[in-house]
Amino acid sequence: NNDLLKLSRQKFASNVVEKLLKYGNSAQRNTIVREMLKVVREGGSSQEGVGSTVLLLMVRDAYANYVVQTAIDVVPEGKEKQMLLEELKANEAQLRNYTFAKHIVAKLGSK
């Protein structure tokens, strides 16, 4: 299901997800990253993003992109962070086209 995506797209709920990333333990943070890396199987009322990862939909959103930025900053080095950064870097050219993703592209340059 797309609960992480739904929560991250809401102004106040996205703040809660950011707090979970900042103050959760490593296992909790890694669980959130694994959810971000899941492929969207259904787009609900539209076909937006079907076949894309939750992460690539999050970076396009006004609120969810902050959750991604927080994940980049606070998730400890390891398999999950590596997969997160690889997914973003593999799609960097596409991300440059999205207003809210430009901050994330800038962060990738420093990683």
- Secondary structure of 25-69 in the HEC alphabet? CHHHHHHHHHHHCCECCCCCCCCCCCCCEHHHHHCCCCCHHHHHH
Looking at the predicted structure, is the pLDDT value of residue 41 above 80? no
Take residue 110 and report the two structure tokens written for it: 């420093």
- Please tell me the pTM assigned to this model: 0.89
Q: Which domain holds residue 36?
A: 3-109
Instruction: Tell me what the mean pLDDT of segment 30-54 comes to.
Output: 79
Looking at the predicted structure, is the pLDDT value of residue 49 above 70? no
Take residue 36 and report the two structure tokens written for it: 């971000």
**Number of domains present in the structure of the chain:** 1
Tell me the backbone φ, ψ of residue 107, rounded to 5 degrees: -65, -35
